[in-house]
Amino acid sequence: MDSPKAVIYARVSSMGERQSTERQVADLRRYASATGLDVVAVYEEKASGARTDREQLAACREFLESGGAQHLLVTELSRLGRSLRQVLEVVDELTARGINIFFQAQGLNTIVDGKPDATVKTMVSMFGAFAELERTTIVDRLQSGRRVAIEQGRFSPGRPKGATLSKEKLLAR
């Protein structure tokens, strides 16, 4: 008998080289191996969890909904989204199709013994609300830091204004 199929979805917020999905993928591959799941696809993304137009998450959902796998593995609930509505949309849609979502950090499976777990849905709602609160806190912290930097003259919001060369010198180039 074939092993149940799983996909991994990993996301980091930072576009630069400062963050990587490597650790998430490695952790989830270890989990899959230990539990007898066959990882058939990995979707990795560098995008804010607040965005609703994440291409890799959309591709992952499409693959799952087409029957490509029965399990979605993510390291933590906030990888699916930073708003409770986003997270619940993904969880409700996939669970209704019989696809289990495993949240590693929380140790939760949305389907237990072949049926959706109501207790897990409640937990997902709570953790989703916490993810949304965390996103709000991050935004508040960034805005506060900008205000202080502006007050201290260390930050000038917006783009630099105008060219530094005269019109004649600029056209002569």
So which residues are the catalytic ones? Answer: 13
Residues 6+ apart with CB under 8 A from 106: 76, 77, 123, 127
Residue type (1 letter), 92: D
